[in-house]
Structures are given as structure tokens and as C-alpha cells.
Structure 1
Amino acid sequence: MDLTGKGALVTGGASGIGAAAARRLAGAGARVAVADRDEAAAAALVEELGGLALGGDVADPERMPAHVAAAEEAFGRLDVVLLNAGVTGGQSGVEELDLAAYRRIVGVNVDHVVFGLTAAVPALRRAGGGTVIATASLAGLVAMPGDALYTMTKHAVVGYVRSAAPTLAPEGIRVNAVCPGFADTPLLARAKDRFAGFPLLTAEDVADAIDAVLERGEPGECWFVQPGREPAPYGFRGVPGPAGAPRPPDVDWSDH
């Protein structure tokens, strides 16, 4: 993969999957903006890779437009955006609900993806096209009892990616998701003892999948990533439509 001269932005990029992906992008020749709430950690990685360190809360509606603008200004263009920042719920969301924690997980896991994509589209257009990859989760493809809120947010990301992709594909802007299973990253640190003997992904495994999506992904694909398996697009089953009905029309809801 040759990304020489390209500009990239990675959120949640100072550790785990984000840091592994940032290193891959830089190794392929891209100039990388590493955005993380821990700006000192982002700066440390950028000192290693070169590029740009960015701080702040990606759930803030103004943060992603600012990150995109800073990356485009620094690099002269923006071609790859990895919307990777994420948090876990820390509560079932069924038997109890901590409202502040609920707002936090929705803000980081869902809002930041929406804010990031909408902010990135004009910059990607100016570059002549590009790729946006959101880090979802296997919890975006299957139910994960015990963490209903996290599962809800990742299902939302998968649905958003699949629905946004056809709108942008004609402009050469590709939107995808990666959906890792349980990975040995800081996000899992507090619960790692529960996974003794269970195969875990590494951050490098997920970075391999991101490389594959960049190289050969198709618009709207959501790639599963599981230990010991080649990453690949998840095969969604079609939903049965009304009996005997034609294909539903494409509706421009902006007129309604």
C-alpha cells in the first residue's frame, strides 16, 4: 500500500488499535494526524511518526470539524479518516442507567462518527475522493448481552456506515467499518481477567484488517475481525419485503 503524499486522520490514535493503524498509515507514506483525548500521548506518538497531534473530546460537536480542518491545513489534503475513538458502557443499560455515562458512550461511539464523517466529506471531495473507516465492533453485528448500551452504539455505527456509503460512493468517497471481536487493547483492560484462555485479537490484527479494507474494500462493507480468521466483509442477509411488491423507491427525505 503506497500512501505517499496522502493525508490521514486517526481518532483515538494514541493507543491500541488507533496507534497501530497510525503506524501503518505512516509506514505506507501518509502524513498522519493523531487525535486523542490524551494529547500528551498523541504528541509522543507523533514525535515517533511525524505528523500532527490533536487533543480534545471527539464527542464535542465542534471538535471533529476542527480536527479535519487542522489536518487538511497541515498536510494540504485529507485522504483517509479512521474514526476509531470509542468507550465502553460500564453498565447494563437494562437494569440501571447512569445518564451521564449513557450520554458519554453515545457521544463518543456514535456522535463522533457522525460528526467525523460530515466534517470529512468536503475535505475528501477537495482531494478527489478518499476513504472513511469507522471502528465498530463484533457487537455491531451480533447481540452482546451484559452490555446493551455498547451493543446499541456499535449497531448504530454499522447502520450509519451501510446507509451513508451509497450516497458518497459516486464521488469516490468510500465508507466502511471494521468490526473486531474482543481485542487486547486498553478498552478491555478492566475486564481482561474475564478472558483467561479466550483467544484475543491484538491491535496489529485489527490494523491488518484496516489495511485490507483500504486496499480492497467496497463501499458500505463492514469487515469482521476474529482471531485466527482472515478478515472479510460480513454477509448481511436480506430482509423479506412485502409479498409481490416491487423494489421500494429511493426517497429524498430532505424534501419531506
Structure 2
Amino acid sequence: MSAFRVALITGGASGMGLAVAEGLLARKGWHVYLLDRNAKAFENLDPEVKAATNFRNVHVADYDSLAAVFKDIYISKGRINFVFANAGIGGALDFYETKDGIDPPPKPDTSAIDVNLNGVCYTTYLAAHYFKLQKLEDASVVITASDAALYPTVFAPLYTAAKHGLIGFLRAISPVMITHKIRVNVICPGVVPTPILPPELLKIWPEEIRTPVSTVVNAVLALVDGRDMTDAVGTKVSADKLYGQTVELSVDKMYFRSQPDYCDEACKRAAAAVNSFTGATSL
């Protein structure tokens, strides 16, 4: 077994990303890279955490910059074992704003999609590339979605769209990724008190219905370990099936959320036909 493993965490300088980084560091044997566009957040970290981690200033929606960081880390360490595709933003909340006059309104702010969906796709794509180069026996990507991936967040429709998209992305790629021994899973936390939520917004949720960051850390580390897991209602997922899973997190509980059933046999057969298509050369 290798003497150390390497983790890349986007959005790693604060919130859930930082908490997972600290969880990995507590286990020893991990070299942890925090990828974040907020250099000030990293500079303000506890000196011990700063000394134990490596920081890369990067915006996940900028593919070329993100790719350069992945390459640099791979050349430096010779390996990448785990990627936590966690970077996210709330985005603009003015989608419903009424504009006067006959002229079309300006283009909406789509940064929530750029970061929360495109950025995760870029991160996962790059992770898969470097995992394949190593021919690892077990590589892992955990994607941070949100409960907004399962339910509508009316005041943030583009955020909701991006987070819903992550589950579709997961379910599309996971059957292919596992053939390369890459396990991809998604977590859907409820309201976690992190810097993404401004205080005036956070206060609308009573403390007893918030999800502590420790729930997120426990779930992510379990997914990294790839061990048998059982959720709050007794649903068991064995280690060999721990890929393509959507894991909802609420307060201190975890729930596996299955793909919806097909509406009828014709729909099921149509989906099977599509998923048997092998024309994509990269498969």
C-alpha cells in the first residue's frame, strides 16, 4: 500500500470542504490540497491547518486554470486518490425581478450554473483523467449537491437547476466510471451553516432543523472508505454497490435516495436502448 494518499478538495478553504479536509488530516496518511478562489479564507485559517495542507487559488468554472492545478499536483505527488467536488455558490436571487419597458432584460446571472454544475463537471472530468493514468484499484469522487437537488428552492431557481443537474450527471457517469474502478457519489445536505449562507438568510431556519457539518464529514469519509453503509431507515448499501449513490443528509441522519421508477415498460426499454449505446469512443 502507498505510504500516503492525495486528496483534492474544491471549495476547501471554508465550510464543508475545510471540515472534510480536517477529517482526512485527523486520520493521518493524507496529503490534502485545498482548491479555492478565496485566498483570504485560507490565510485566515488556523496556523496548524495551514501548515498541514496545500492551497491552490483557482476558480472551478475556469477549466484551463483548474486543469493546470490538477496537472501540477499530479506531477508533484505522482498520485491523486480522492476528489471532493464541493465548490459552490448561492448565485443571484433576482431571477423574478420585473423590468420596465419593451426592451429585453439583460442576460440573467448564471454563475450558479457555471460554478455548481459546470465546475463540478470539470472537476470530475479531470479527476477521472488522472485516476485512469494511475490505474488505481479504488478511486473516489464525492460531489456536493444539496437538498435543492431533490426539492425546489423557489427563490433560487438557477441554483436549483444546477443542483438537480448534478444528480443526473452522477447517474449518467457512474456506471461507466466504475468500470475504471472510480466510485462517484453525490451528497445532498440540508441547511448547513457555512459561509455560502449569509446570516440574514440562515436565520430563517431554526437551529434544530439545520444539518451540522459533522454529518457531512461522517458521510463523506464513509463514502471515501467504501465500506458497507446503512441509512436512517435501514436501507443497506454494500461496499461493492457504493457508487452512483445519492445520499441525502438531514440534521444527523443519512438517507439513500434511489432513482425514480420508469413510468412504464416502454420508457424502461427506451432507456435501456439508450444506455446500451456504445458509439461514444471514450467509453
- Structure 1 position 142, deviation (Å): 1.8
TM-score normalised by structure 1 residue count: 0.88
In structure 2, the CA distance between the partners of 1:251 and 1:222, relative to structure 1 (3 Å rule), is same
Instruction: Give the structure 2 partner of residue 233 of structure 1.
Output: 256
**Alpha-carbon separation, structure 2, partners of 1:240 and 1:37:** 43
With over 3 angstroms needed to count, the CA separation of the structure-2 counterparts of 1:186 and 1:56, relative to structure 1, is same
Structure 2: distance between partners of 1:56 and 1:236: 33
Equivalent residues of 1:46, 1:52 under 8 A apart: no
Give the Cα–Cα distance (whole angstroms) in 1 for the partners of residues 106 and 20 of structure 2.
32
- Amino acid across the alignment from 1:75: K
Aligned pair partner of 1:152 in 136, 161, 185: 161
Q: Which moved more, 1:188-197 or 1:204-213?
A: 188-197
2:142–2:187 CA contact under 8 A, matched in 1: yes
Local SS of the residue matching 1:107: helix
Corresponding residue for 2:233?
none
Paired residues of 2:58 and 2:66 also in contact (CA < 8 A): no
Partner of 2:186: 177
Give the TM-score of the pair, scaled to structure 2.
Answer: 0.80
Within-5 A mapping of 1:45-194: 45=45, 48-49=48-49, 50-91=52-93, 93-95=95-97, 99=107, 101-102=109-110, 104-127=111-134, 128=136, 129-190=138-199, 191-194=201-204
Question: In the TM superposition, what whole-angstrom CA distance separates every residue of 1:94-115 from its partner, at most 9, and x where no partner exists?
Answer: 456873632x111110111111
Q: CA deviation at 1:67?
A: 2.2
Q: CA deviation at 1:65?
A: 1.1
Contact 2:21 2:32 in 1 (8 A): yes
Evaluate the alpha carbon distance shift between residue 100 and residue 206 of structure 1 in structure 2; reply closer, same or farther with a 3 A threshold. same
SS in 2 for 1:99: coil
- The Cα shift of 1:56 comes to 2.2
Q: Which runs of 5+ in 1 are unaligned?
A: none
1:240–1:82: structure 2 CA closer, same or farther, 3 Å change rule? same
Count of residue pairs brought into register by the alignment: 252
The answer to whether structure 1 residue 251 and structure 2 residue 251 are counterparts is no
**What do residues 198-221 of structure 1 show as CA deviations (whole Å, max 9, x unaligned)?**
521122221111112222361110
Cα separation, 2, equivalents of 1:133 and 1:199: 24
CA deviation profile, 1:195-242 (whole Å, cap 9, x unmatched):
23552112222111111222236111011000132x232123212234
Q: Deviations over 1:174-208 (max 9, x none)?
A: 11111000111111124112123552112222111
Q: Which runs of 5+ in 2 are unaligned?
A: 99-104, 228-238
> Alpha carbons of 1:46 and 1:252: their partners in 2 closer, same or farther (altered >3 Å)?
farther
Q: Is the 8 A contact 1:3 1:25 kept in 2?
A: no
Query: 2:241 matched to 1:212?
Result: no
> Contact 2:34–2:56 (CA<8 Å) still a contact in 1?
yes
1:101–1:113 Cα change, 3 Å:
same
User: Quick one: which amino acid aligns to residue 17 of structure 1?
Assistant: M
User: RMSD of the alignment, in Å?
Assistant: 2.5
- Structure 2 CA distance for aligned equivalents of residues 254 and 130 of structure 1: 23
Q: Report the Cα distance in structure 2 between the residues aligned to 1:31 and 1:45, rounded to whole angstroms.
A: 17
Which residue of structure 1 aligns with residue 34 of structure 2?
A: 34
Greater displacement, 15-24 / 240-249: 240-249
Pair member with larger Rg:
2
Query: 2:9·2:17 contact (CA, 8 Å) conserved in 1?
Result: yes
In 2, are the aligned partners of 1:177 and 1:220 still within 8 Å (CA)? yes
Instruction: Identify if the C-alpha distance between structure 1 residues 91 and 41 changes in structure 2 by more than 3 Å, giving closer, same or farther.
Output: closer
1:183/1:201 contact within 8 Å kept = yes
